[in-house]
Amino acid sequence: MIKKIVLFCIACMYAQLTFAQIDSTLLNNVIADTGKQTLNMDAVYNRPFLGIGKLPVSLGGYAEVNWQHIGTDGVSEGHQFQMRRMTLFVASTISKKIKFLSEIELEEGGKEISVEFASIDVEFHPLLNLRGGIVMNPIGSFNQNHDGPRWEFTDRPISATQMLAATWSNAGFGLFGKTYKNNWMFGYEAYLTGGFNDDIIDNEMNKTFLPAAKVSAERFEEGNALLTTKIATRHSKFGELGLSYMGGNYNTYKNDGIVLDEKRQLHVFAMDYNTTLPKINTTITGEWAWINIDVPSSFTQQYGNKQRGGFLDIVQPIFKRKILGWDKAVVNLSCRLEYVDWNVGTFNETGDNIGDNLWSVMPAISFRPTAQTVFRFNYRYQLQKDVLDNDPSKTGGFSFGISSYF
Amino acid sequence: MPNLTIQYMFKQLKPTYIIVSILISSIVFLVACSELEPAAPADEDILDGPLEGLTNAQSAQFLAGDIAFNDEIFTKDKGLGPVFVATSCGSCHAGDGKGTPFTTLTRFGQVDHTGNKFLHLGGPQLQNRSIPGFNPETIPTGATFSKFTPPANTGLGFIELVPDSAILALSDPNDMNGDGISGVPNWNTVPSYVDILENAISQNGKYICRLGKKASTFNLLQQTVNAYNQDIGITSTFNPIDVYSGHSIDPEVSDKTVRDVVAYLQMLKAPIQRETENVEIENGKNLFIQIKCAACHVPQLQTDFSIISALSYKTFYPYTDLLLHDMGSDLDDGYTEGSAKTYEWRTPPLWGLGLSPGSQGGKYFLMHDGRAKSIEEAIEMHGGEAAQSKNNFQQLSATDKEKLIQFLKSL
């Protein structure tokens, strides 16, 4: 039976059974093997899970704690201690080829609780799976592959959280599938889900801001349909390339059958890439996205109709050996480069460039006693320009954090 | 054998080394980390920031006003519009500095002291933007208009406290001193929610106003209430009329917030002059006085009593007389407010002038509508009462012009 539960765990496709240190008869640690070749779309499956006794349910999760000391133009917030988030995974196999997966996130000390993911997956064929529930829209790579312990930086990429709305999930249905041939792997996903709302061009950020739609839980009940599709391919040597699109109407053009406005659309294109260089083992992960939004011309240019941005992470393991009793501990040197322009274009009045953009560079050193746990220490230097393109405000500071699956 | 022992010792020591070095570097870090953060710009290089010498209670109100002014963004749910020009005070007054053509206001419909004839058609201010589903206003046919670029709003607490008697003393309606410069105050009606100070001087029920390009606004409360109403489409108990429907609606901003914003504006520090020791700049200032710029841009004024002691009976250096002057036909847009003529403009304070590009996207947009792209261009546009002074400027040698401009940039 125990063996069966383990098999049920979706992570088990790549799992190695290891012995939990506490009570190996009760807890079965199913460690995801991060070394195996997978696509970003597998991230929800490829997580360490814990089976408990004979229960047909496996549990998992991760937590992130941080300290930071960061300041902008001489104004420092001082020492800040943050329990950024705690995320719980619950998975079970309902019957053969039918699985349930969920991810519940508690942020800001439990003030914000959200169901990031909760779906029933039915496999008809490796190339044809049906997924229904609250799904993670596969735009770019970070949205699906966002677990803290996978990254060498205390903060999530700004383009992902402040532009693309990570972690962006919606109620909906879709299909996905995957196939292999020699060194090639190919996957696709297509979902129809709930979507964005008027808040993206009417919010307290004073800019076109996709994450503003996350605030309203109404999107799980009613609202606009959003199509998200992604194709990804991986070559064992060259790495993985993903192309994704997300789009649909975003505004309330009709309520109770009464027409209030014309339909307005939003389109997001993203490209993501990751690879590990042979011999030196450098990992390169990047994502770039373009957003086009139909903002009414009578509204203010404060809210942009074009956005773009992305990040590039370079992670270099500098040594891998036994450290303080951990057998395969790794120390990485990394750097993240980020750019976001929330308002691409020029002012109607002057033809001058609209600002509202940000540059950031973040060198980091991280220590992984095991693949599931990371201690990371970052320095961030960031330049952010206001909408009028005035001299940027400068932000800089350090952060230290621990992120671990449990 | 001894070799092995040494190796063994190292093996044993290593974790200790690692731990000790981690501990030491963490401590060094915690102590030093604020040193590695970006430094604050010098006080003299920025316009925003509080007056020195505020009490803690005043500082707390300053902060509340700062947040309301800079961070409170109005959305549809919070009452934005439905027609408006911008979504927050800070959107137009970035860093409390001057604005750009993007944040410029358009006003229309009044040609003389008899008042605005287009109030029923959306006057006096054009709300040229609207929330989705609504149409913004357009300028009605037959209405003349003018564009107003946001001024810096620092040091206004001082300006508000200049006694009427001092403003009248500077005015010279009949040019008795024969310098070609007259200067008159704007006599305007004041809304009933404004408390009139005891020492205010009135004429036929009208009062001396001092704020705005046409000096048509009495004080910071009136300016703030108008800004919420006309610029953002936000009603208050002071002015409950919705710009779109013309009907009174529920207040969309609280009295407290309005009062906090007024207090914030009152307690913003005055711009600080830079390079005061530089002789070139000292020479530039002398030239400024010599060629009669200072006849309108009066270097120094005094405040009256204020309960905010940091503002009470203070001498300050705004380079304005708060009076209206005939600036010639090129600057006559055919639109006016209060008792001002269409060709009359209030002398703008020149303090903070050199910091203008800091909020204007690295450029200069000077004069009431931002038409001048440099200080020199602004001077060249002076006409009317300022024509003589402008001519004097044109007569200056290139190096003297340079000194004068350097002085203006130091303000």
- Averaged pLDDT, B146-160: 96
DSSP per-residue string spanning B244-278: TT-SB---SS-HHHHHHHHHHHHHBPPP--S-TT-
| SS3 (DSSP) at A383 | strand
Most confident of A33-47, A73-87, A305-319: A305-319
pLDDT at A5: 36
A297 near B CB under 8 A: no
User: With DSSP H G I counted as helix, E B as strand and the rest as coil, what are the percentages for chain B, rounded to 5?
Assistant: 40, 10, 50
- Averaged pLDDT, B333-342: 95
What CATH number is given to the structural domain containing A178?
2.40.160.10
Q: Kind and range of the H or E element at A83?
A: strand A75-95
Tell me, what amino acid is at A101? L
Question: Is the pLDDT assigned to residue B138 strictly greater than 60?
Answer: yes
Measure CB to CB from residue A398 to each of B33, B104, B130 and give the nearest one.
B33
- Averaged pLDDT, B226-244: 96
Q: Tell me the per-residue pLDDT of A326-384, one tens digit each, with 9 for 90 and over.
A: 888 999 999 999 999 999 999 999 999 999 999 999 999 999 999 899 999 999 999 99
Tokens of A181: 């041939």
List all residues of chain A from 196 to 215 with a beta carbon under 8 Å from chain B: 198-199, 201-206
A73 near B CB under 8 A: yes
Q: How confident is the model at residue A16 (pLDDT cuts 50, 70, 90)?
A: very low
- Averaged pLDDT, A275-294: 95
CB contact under 8 A, B41 and A73: yes
* Strands (E) located in A201-277: 225-235, 239-249, 254-255, 258-259, 265-276
Tell me, what amino acid is at A77? E
Give the structural domain span for A314: 2-405
- Count of beta carbons in the 10 Å neighbourhood of residue B190: 19
Tokens of A388: 């009028």
List all residues of chain A from 376 to 395 with a beta carbon under 8 Å from chain B: 379, 386-391, 394-395
Residue A41: partners with Cβ closer than 8 Å, 6 or more residues away? A138, A144, A176, A178, A187, A189, A230, A232
List all residues of chain A from 158 to 177 with a beta carbon under 8 Å from chain B: none
Q: What is the Cα–Cα distance from A317 to A329, expressed in whole angstroms?
A: 10
User: Half-sphere exposure of residue A93, counting CA atoms within 13 Å on the CB side?
Assistant: 18
Residue A229: partners with Cβ closer than 8 Å, 6 or more residues away? A138, A188, A189, A190, A191, A244, A245, A246
Q: Tell me the per-residue pLDDT of B62-73, one tens digit each, with 9 for 90 and over.
A: 999 999 999 999
Residues in chain B: 411
Inter-residue contact B407 to B288 (CB < 8 Å): yes
Q: What is the Cα–Cα distance from A280 to B250, expressed in whole angstroms?
A: 67
Mutate to test the interface with A, among B20, B29, B34, B44 (most CBs of A within 10 A): B34
Question: Is the pLDDT assigned to residue A23 strictly greater than 50?
Answer: no
Nearest chain B residue to A397, by CA: B37
Measure CB to CB from residue B102 to each of A72, A204, A301 and give the nearest one.
A301
B40 near A CB under 8 A: yes
How many interchain CB pairs under 8 A, A with B? 115
Name the residue with tokens 């003030």.
A111
Nearest chain A residue to B74, by CA: A204
Inter-residue contact A58 to A48 (CB < 8 Å): no
Inter-residue contact B384 to B325 (CB < 8 Å): yes
Question: Is the pLDDT assigned to residue B196 strictly greater than 60?
Answer: yes
Q: What is the Cα–Cα distance from B255 to B197, expressed in whole angstroms?
A: 20
Tell me the chain A residues in contact with residue B13 when contact means C-beta distances shorter than 8 Å. none
Query: Where exactly are the structural domains of chain B?
Result: 2-34, 43-272+292-395
- Count of beta carbons in the 10 Å neighbourhood of residue A21: 8
Above pLDDT 70, what percent of chain A? 90
Q: How confident is the model at residue B45 (pLDDT cuts 50, 70, 90)?
A: very high
Q: What is the Cα–Cα distance from B272 to B73, expressed in whole angstroms?
A: 29
CB contact under 8 A, B358 and A264: no
Q: Domain tally for chain A?
A: 1
CB contact under 8 A, A391 and B88: no
- Averaged pLDDT, B202-227: 96
Inter-residue contact A17 to A30 (CB < 8 Å): yes
Q: How confident is the model at residue B232 (pLDDT cuts 50, 70, 90)?
A: very high
A79 near B CB under 8 A: yes
Q: Which of A170, A229, A173, A216 is nearest to A194 (CA)?
A: A170
Inter-residue contact A103 to A88 (CB < 8 Å): yes
Kindly give the interhelix angle for B56-66 and B255-267, rounded to the nearest 10 degrees. 110
Mutate to test the interface with B, among A199, A200, A202 (most CBs of B within 10 A): A202
Q: What is the 3-state secondary structure (H, E, C) of B92-108?
A: HCHHHCCCCHHHCEEEE
pLDDT at B71: 95
Question: Is the pLDDT assigned to residue A10 strictly greater than 80?
Answer: no
Nearest chain A residue to B92, by CA: A388
* Mean pLDDT estimate for chain A: 86
Shortest Cα distance, chain B CAs vs residue A73, angstroms: 4
B30 near A CB under 8 A: yes
Most confident of A43-47, A243-247, A370-374: A243-247
B89 near A CB under 8 A: no
Nearest chain B residue to A198, by CA: B132
Question: Is the pLDDT assigned to residue A404 strictly greater than 50?
Answer: yes
Q: Kind and range of the H or E element at B66?
A: helix B56-66
Question: Is the pLDDT assigned to residue B185 strictly greater than 50?
Answer: yes
B347 near A CB under 8 A: no
Name the residue with tokens 């076109």.
A208
* Angstrom distances, CA of residue B211 to CA of A327, A368, B158, B224, B321: 73, 62, 12, 11, 12
Q: Please name every residue paired with B98 in a beta bridge, in sequence order, or none if there are none.
A: none
Question: Is the pLDDT assigned to residue B206 strictly greater than 60?
Answer: yes
B358 near A CB under 8 A: yes
Tell me the chain B residues in contact with residue A298 when contact means C-beta distances shorter than 8 Å. 129-130, 132, 134-136
Residue B158: partners with Cβ closer than 8 Å, 6 or more residues away? B270, B301, B303, B311, B314, B316, B318
Burial letters B286-318, b for 16+ CB under 10 A, else e: ebbeebbbbbbbbbebebbebebebbeebebbb
Q: How confident is the model at residue A40 (pLDDT cuts 50, 70, 90)?
A: confident
* Mean pLDDT estimate for chain B: 92
Q: Which of A60, A52, A131 is nearest to A99 (CA)?
A: A131
Tell me the chain B residues in contact with residue A205 when contact means C-beta distances shorter than 8 Å. 73
CB contact under 8 A, B132 and A355: no
* Angstrom distances, CA of residue B4 to CA of A221, B11, B13, B154: 71, 10, 14, 74
* Angstrom distances, CA of residue B88 to CA of A300, A349, B189, B282, B305: 12, 19, 27, 39, 32
